C-alpha cells in the first residue's frame, strides 16, 4: 500500500508519498505561499534527483489547487513516481489539535470533521488549514482519509498533570487544560528508544526532547506520556525560535497596558516576535550558534537559557517519574547541536549521565552518545512524524 501523508499549514502544504512495503519514501515536497502570487513548489524524489523540482513558481489559488498540483506531479512522466492515482491507497493527515475528543488516530467522517472544527478555537492557524487539506483531498480522491492528531499521544496524562489551577468551570465549559503537542514525534522517538532499551515499555522512564523552531519536552513512563511542557497551545514550555515559552502570566496584562496592545497583538508578540528572535534578533539556531562562538552576548544568553530550561525540565520529569533510564534528543536542534547535549549531560551527571564526547560529535544520525555502562543512557534519534502518520493510516485502513 502507498500512503500519501499531508501536513497543511495556513499557506503551505507538505507531503510525502510512502510505499508501506518496506516503508520506502518515494517522494516528498512542499507548496508554499498558497493563495499568493509568489506561490512556490518543491518536489524531491530520493531515488532519482533528475525528477526534482526546486522552488518553481506555480499558480495555487487555494489548498485544493495545491493538492491537484501534488497529485499531477506524482503521476507525471517527468517528475512522477507512480503510474496512476489509483496506486495511492489512503491519505494520512496531520491535525494539530484534537482536544479531549481524540486520543488515537481515526478514519475521517463527518463527525470527525465537526470535532476538528470545534477545536478551531485552540488551533486557529493550524486546525482550519488541516481541515482544508482533508476536504480538498475528499473532493479529488475517493480513498480513505485518516486524521492523526498532534495532541493524541499526550492524552494519557493524568488529571494532576494536565489541569491548571483556574476555576474548574473553565475546564468543564471551555476545555482549558494542558494538551501537549509534537505528539507524533515524541511517540516515534520514545518507541524507538524503548526498542534500544530492550523492547519492553513497562518499567521504562524516558525524557524525550523535541528541539527545533518549536520545542517541547515529554516525560514518557511505561511508554505513555505522563507530562509534557506545551499546554493549551504550543506556546507554553521552553523558549523556542519565535515563542517565549512559559512566563509569569501577569506579564501579559502588564505589557498590554503599558504599550496599549490588543489581545491579538499580544498573542503575536508572544508567538511570533519572542523566543530566540526576541532575545537575539534571529530564530535560526545555526546563526545563534556561530554568533555565540564569536562572543555575541545575546546569542550566548539564548544558549544558556535554553540549556538551563532543559536541565530544569529533565530533572523535574525524572523526579516525577521516580527515576530516569534515558534522555532522547530529536528535532532540528536536538539532532544537530552537540554542544547543547554536552552542556545538559554535564548538568545532570548527578542523575547518572556519562556522555562520550566522540560519539556526541554527530549530526542527524541515530546513535547512543552515552558511554557503555552509563546509568542513564542518552540518545540522538532523528524523528519521523510522517512515518508515524503513514503507519497509523495503514493500520486503520487495513481494518476497514
End-to-end CA distance of the chain: 14
One domain, residues 211 and 130: no
Q: Per the domain annotation, does 170 fall within a domain?
A: no
Residue of 176, 316, 163 lying closest to 238 (CA atoms): 316
- Which residues are annotated as catalytic? 150
CATH of the domain at 84: 3.30.420.40
In which residue ranges of the chain is pLDDT below 70? Answer: none
How confident is the model over 338-391, as pLDDT tens digits? 999 999 999 999 999 999 999 999 999 999 999 999 999 999 999 999 999 999
Q: Is 210 in the same domain as 357?
A: yes
**Of the candidates 149, 167, 182, which is a domain's last residue?**
149
> Is 354 a member of any domain?
yes
Residue 165: inside a domain, yes or no? no
Q: Which three cell numbers stand for residue 202?
A: 513497562
Contact present, 282 and 288 (Cβ < 8 Å): yes
Q: Are residues 123 and 244 in the same domain?
A: no
pLDDT of 141 reads 94
Instruction: Calculate the alpha carbon distances from 66 to 29, 35, 75, 77, 212 in Å.
Output: 11, 9, 15, 19, 26
pLDDT of 112: 97
Q: Do 6 and 126 belong together in one domain?
A: yes
Contact 146/396 with Cβ under 8 angstroms? Answer: yes
Residue 388 is predicted with a pLDDT of 97
Domain boundary among 149, 175, 190: 149
CA–CA gap between residue 138 and residue 158 (Å, rounded):
36
Burial class, 4, CB count within 10 angstroms (exposed 0-12 / middle 13-18 / buried 19+): buried
Let me know if residue 175 belongs to a domain: no
Q: Is residue 191 part of a domain?
A: no
Domain count, the chain: 2
Pair (132, 256) in one structural domain:
no
Whether the Cβ atoms of residue 116 and residue 95 lie closer than 8 Å to each other: yes
Q: Based on the domain organization, do 115 and 203 belong to the same domain?
A: no
Return the closest-CA partner of residue 69 out of 41, 92, 37, 44: 41
The pLDDT, as a whole number, for residue 37 is 82
Distant-in-sequence contacts of 255-262, Cβ < 8 A, 24+ apart:
none
Cell numbers for 350 = 548527578
pLDDT given at position 205: 98
Q: How far is CA 311 from the centre of its chain?
A: 21
> Do both 298 and 372 map to the same domain?
yes
Residue 312 phi/psi, 5-degree rounding, is: -60, -45
Q: Would you give the DSSP letter of residue 370?
A: B
- Residue ending a domain, choose from 88, 123, 149: 149
Asked if residue 87 belongs to a domain, the reply is yes
| pTM confidence score | 0.95
Assess whether 225 and 360 both reside in one domain. yes
pLDDT of residue 124: 87
Q: What are phi and psi of 203, to 5 degrees?
A: 95, -10
Measure the CA–CA gap between 245 and 69, rounded to whole angstroms. Answer: 37
The three three-digit cell numbers of residue 220, written as one number: 514518557
Distances (CA, A) of 11 to 7, 37, 267, 271, 331: 11, 12, 19, 17, 22
User: Same structural domain for residues 122 and 203?
Assistant: no
Q: Are residues 91 and 228 in the same domain?
A: no
Tell me what percent of the chain is helix, strand and coil, each rounded to the nearest 5.
45, 20, 35
Domain around 209: 199-385
Amino acid at each position: 500500500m502507498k500512503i500519501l501523508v499531508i501536513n497543511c499549514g495556513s499557506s503551505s502544504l507538505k507531503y510525502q508519498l510512502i510505499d508501506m512495503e518496506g516503508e520506502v519514501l518515494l517522494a516528498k515536497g512542499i507548496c508554499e505561499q498558497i493563495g499568493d502570487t509568489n506561490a512556490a513548489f518543491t518536489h524531491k524524489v530520493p531515488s532519482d534527483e533528475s525528477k526534482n523540482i526546486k522552488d518553481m513558481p506555480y499558480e495555487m489559488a487555494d489548498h485544493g489547487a495545491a493538492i491537484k498540483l501534488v497529485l499531477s506531479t506524482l503521476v507525471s512522466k517527468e517528475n512522477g513516481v507512480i503510474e496512476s492515482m489509483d496506486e495511492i491507497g489512503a491519505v494520512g493527515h496531520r491535525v494539530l489539535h484534537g482536544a479531549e475528543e481524540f486520543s488515537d488516530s481515526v478514519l475521517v467522517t463527518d463527525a470527525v470533521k465537526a470535532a476538528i472544527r470545534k477545536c478551531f478555537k485552540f488551533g486557529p492557524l493550524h486546525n482550519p488549514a488541516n481541515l482544508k487539506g482533508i476536504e480538498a483531498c475528499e473532493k479529488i480522491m475517493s480513498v480513505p482519509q485518516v486524521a492523526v492528531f498532534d495532541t493524541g499521544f499526550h492524552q494519557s496524562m493524568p488529571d494532576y498533570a494536565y489541569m491548571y489551577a483556574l476555576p474548574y468551570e473553565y475546564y468543564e465549559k471551555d476545555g482549558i487544560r494542558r494538551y501537549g503537542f509534537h505528539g507524533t514525534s515524541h511517540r516515534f522517538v520514545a518507541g524507538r528508544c524503548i526498542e534500544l532499551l530492550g523492547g519492553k515499555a513497562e518499567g521504562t522512564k524516558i525524557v524525550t526532547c523535541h528541539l527545533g523552531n518549536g520545542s517541547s519536552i515529554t516525560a514518557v513512563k511505561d511508554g505513555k506520556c505522563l507530562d509534557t511542557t506545551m499546554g493549551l497551545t504550543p506556546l507554553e514550555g521552553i523558549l523556542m525560535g519565535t515563542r517565549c515559552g512559559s512566563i509569569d502570566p501577569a506579564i501579559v496584562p502588564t505589557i498590554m497596558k503599558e504599550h496599549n496592545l490588543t489581545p491579538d497583538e499580544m498573542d503575536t508578540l508572544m508567538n511570533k516576535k519572542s523566543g530566540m528572535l526576541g532575545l537575539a534578533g534571529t530564530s535560526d539556531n545555526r546563526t545563534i550558534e556561530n554568533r555565540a562562538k564569536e562572543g555575541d552576548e545575546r546569542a550566548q544568553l539564548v544558549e544558556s537559557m535554553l540549556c538551563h530550561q532543559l536541565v530544569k525540565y529533565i530533572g523535574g520529569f525524572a523526579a516525577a517519574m521516580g527515576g530516569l533510564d534515558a534522555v532522547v534528543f530529536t528535532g532540528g536542534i536536538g539532532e544537530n547541536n552537540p554542544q547543547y547535549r554536552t552542556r545538559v549531560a554535564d548538568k545532570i551527571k548527578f542523575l547518572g549521565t556519562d556522555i562520550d564526547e566522540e560519539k556526541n560529535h554527530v549530526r542527524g544520525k541515530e546513535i547512543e552518545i552515552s558511554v557503555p555502562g552509563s546509568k542513564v543512557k542518552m540518545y540522538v534519534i532523528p524523528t519521523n512524524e510522517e512515518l508515524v502518520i503513514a503507519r497509523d493510516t495503514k493500520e486503520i485502513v487495513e481494518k476497514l
